[in-house]
């Protein structure tokens, strides 16, 4: 029987046909609909990832600010344990109202006597211990020149917790404590006391427009408001409840605030309250006191202090202007006590961070 040869030609043709079909399928690519569907899916995924990453980043940044405030809280508790009370916040020293300024000076007088009982000022030209204290300080250390630049609630923390700089020029890098000499806390050449808190330039400290140190978190300043317990001392209640008397026939006072400059722009930081009873008196929002002179306003942390940070936007507020004589518009009903009813809160307040409540921001704390 004659063997039949394999049909190699047909087999090769069949294989070439299969390869051709595969190549045609590979070269065809995506249709327009398929591409659009893929783009939509990728866009949704990218949005979800971006939103999640942004939220995580904001949360991490707020946590970093909270951690900075916690470090200061720890230092303030150490300060109180060592010296018997929290330090003054300097609020009211820049007031044009003599009653407000004198009350602030009296608070500092009392604290100086408590912290440095053996201190006797070299300067005697001023009428109060605090003013002579500032003169001695300015003469010994140019950085803390409180004669030409009035201290406020932003520099108060660095001053009381850090003390004198490591050198008396603009290149100072840290605060190294006050002099260990109990009769002269400003001796730059004497042995230093350990500062209550380690304050180092570029880490937790920056220099303001007057080259004075301020404590910061994420490069933004932290403002300090000390609370005052209700006592029989009416002057202290006034300082706690607010600032100057607006109506001499009734107990009306403006609440505490401090002016601070950020990026060349003046802003007004305020403490926060659980509740308030604001009333309009002339062109000024004030807070009424009851017949016993006790403030109706109830601050958060009334027996200790508030630390306020401008938040991630770097703004303590948006449109808040200065209280009292610096505001002339009778229709400007800005309330200088921000409370849980959102009175006095601007859109730029809501991301501020403070040591009140459990929330990471003012908005979260007030919910």
50-70 per-position pLDDT tens digit: 767 667 777 788 888 999 999
Is the pLDDT at 240 greater than 50? The verdict is no
In a domain, 176, yes or no: yes
Cα dist. 276→190, 331, 357 in Å?
A: 49, 20, 17
In a domain, 151, yes or no: yes
pTM above 0.85, yes or no: no
In a domain, 323, yes or no: yes
In a domain, 201, yes or no: yes
Could you give the CA distance from residue 222 to residue 86 in angstroms, rounded to a whole number? 16
- Mention every residue, 6+ apart, whose C-beta is less than 8 A from residue 144: 137, 138, 159, 164, 212
In a domain, 130, yes or no: yes
Could you give the CA distance from residue 164 to residue 61 in angstroms, rounded to a whole number? 30
The domain tally of the chain equals 1
Cβ–Cβ under 8 Å, residues 32 and 24: no
In a domain, 25, yes or no: no
Residue 348: what pLDDT? 77
- pLDDT tens profile 316-351: 875 455 444 333 222 333 445 565 555 566 777 888
In a domain, 5, yes or no: no
In a domain, 33, yes or no: no
Q: Which domain holds residue 77?
A: 61-365
Cα dist. 103→3, 94, 325 in Å?
A: 124, 12, 19
Could you give the CA distance from residue 164 to residue 96 in angstroms, rounded to a whole number? 28
């Amino acid at each position: 029987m004659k063997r039949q040869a394999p049909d190699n030609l047909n087999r090769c043709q069949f294989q070439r046909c299969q390869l051709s079909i595969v190549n045609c399928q590979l070269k065809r690519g995506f249709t327009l609909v398929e591409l659009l569907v893929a783009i939509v899916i990728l866009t949704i995924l990218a949005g979800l990832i971006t939103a999640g990453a942004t939220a995580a980043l904001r949360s991490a940044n707020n946590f970093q600010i909270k951690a900075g405030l916690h470090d200061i809280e720890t230092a303030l508790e150490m300060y109180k344990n060592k010296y018997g009370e929290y330090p003054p916040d300097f609020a009211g020293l820049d007031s044009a109202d003599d009653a407000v300024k004198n009350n602030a000076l009296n608070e500092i007088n009392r604290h100086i006597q408590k912290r440095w009982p053996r201190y006797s000022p070299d300067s005697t030209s001023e009428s109060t211990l605090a003013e002579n204290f500032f003169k001695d300080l300015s003469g010994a250390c140019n950085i803390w020149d409180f004669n030409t630049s009035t201290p406020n609630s932003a520099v108060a923390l660095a001053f009381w917790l850090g003390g004198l700089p490591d050198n008396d020029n603009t290149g100072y890098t840290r605060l190294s404590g006050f002099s260990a000499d109990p009769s002269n806390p400003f001796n730059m050449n004497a042995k230093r006391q350990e500062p209550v808190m380690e304050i180092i330039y570029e880490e937790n400290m920056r220099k303001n427009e007057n080259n004075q140190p301020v404590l910061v978190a994420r490069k933004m300043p932290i403002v300090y408001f000390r609370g005052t317990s209700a006592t029989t001392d009416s002057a202290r209640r006034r300082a706690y409840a607010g600032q100057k008397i607006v109506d001499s026939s009734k107990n009306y006072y403006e609440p505490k605030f401090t002016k601070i400059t950020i990026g060349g722009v003046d802003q007004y930081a305020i403490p926060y309250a659980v509740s308030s009873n604001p009333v309009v008196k002339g062109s000024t929002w004030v807070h009424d006191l009851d017949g016993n002179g006790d403030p109706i306003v109830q601050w958060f942390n009334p027996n200790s202090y508030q630390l306020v940070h401008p938040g991630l936007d770097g703004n303590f507020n948006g449109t808040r202007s200065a209280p009292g004589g610096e505001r002339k518009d009778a229709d400007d009903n800005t309330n200088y006590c921000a409370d849980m009813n959102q009175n006095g809160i601007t859109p730029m307040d809501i991301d501020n961070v403070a040591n009140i409540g459990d929330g990471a921001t003012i908005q979260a704390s007030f919910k």
